[in-house]
């Protein structure tokens, strides 16, 4: 499923609008409470109870909207990180070494001045970019410790 920043920004905006709307409702309730205090209905316990319940519900809605906005912002940050990781990973292609190991290899035409290097496919699965270290015949992943043979074995 693809997400984009416009949809997420729209959701954050809606959460903000909902918070503003509940704030306006809370103000309206305060105004109504003020009017009831001045009127004959001020002594009616049912009206007071209904207004108190409504005030509580609005406060709960405001808290829920604030939480939603925080969660959407955190999701926005995670999406940004995931898109940056994917964009970086797009510069690599799966490559089978002469020995038959499969690693990610930086594409020649997208090096941007970087030397040729290889990434651990296990770490890529966990959204971690780990450059294999070693020599031309064998390389290890410094994070997951998995080794990859690059030279064909000769018997």
Phi, psi of 137 (to 5 degrees): -90, -30
Last residue of a domain, one of 88, 113, 139: 88
Mean pLDDT of 14-43: 69
pTM listed for this prediction = 0.59
Quick one: 80 and 112 in the same domain? no
Quick one: 105 and 83 in the same domain? no
**Residues 119-134 pLDDT 10s:** 999 999 999 999 999 9
Instruction: Give, for 93, the enclosing helix (H) or strand (E).
Output: strand 92-96
In angstroms, the CA 60 to CA 15 distance is 14
Quick one: 81 and 121 in the same domain? no
In angstroms, the CA 127 to CA 140 distance is 18
Quick one: 26 and 100 in the same domain? no
**Residues 39-57 pLDDT 10s:** 665 567 777 777 787 888 8
Structure tokens at 70: 């925080």
Whether the per-residue pLDDT at 150 is higher than 50: the answer is: yes
Q: Which residue segment(s) compose the domain that 96 sits in?
A: 91-149
- Nearest to 68, CA basis, from 15, 123, 119, 106: 15
SS3 83: helix
Quick one: 39 and 71 in the same domain? yes
Quick one: 59 and 104 in the same domain? no
């Amino acid at each position: 499923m693809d997400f984009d920043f416009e949809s997420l920004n729209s959701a954050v905006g809606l959460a903000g609008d909902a918070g503003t709307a509940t704030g306006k409702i809370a103000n309206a309730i305060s105004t109504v409470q003020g009017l009831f205090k001045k009127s004959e209905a001020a002594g009616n316990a049912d009206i007071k109870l209904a207004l108190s319940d409504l005030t509580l519900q609005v406060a709960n809605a405001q808290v829920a909207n604030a939480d939603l906005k925080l969660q959407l912002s955190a999701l926005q940050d995670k999406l940004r990180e995931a898109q940056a990781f994917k964009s970086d990973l797009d510069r690599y292609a799966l490559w089978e070494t002469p020995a038959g190991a499969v690693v990610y290899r930086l594409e020649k035409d997208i090096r941007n001045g970087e030397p040729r290097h290889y990434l651990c496919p296990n770490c890529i699965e966990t959204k971690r970019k780990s450059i294999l270290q070693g020599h031309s015949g064998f390389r290890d992943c410094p994070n997951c410790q998995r080794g990859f043979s690059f030279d064909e074995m000769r018997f």
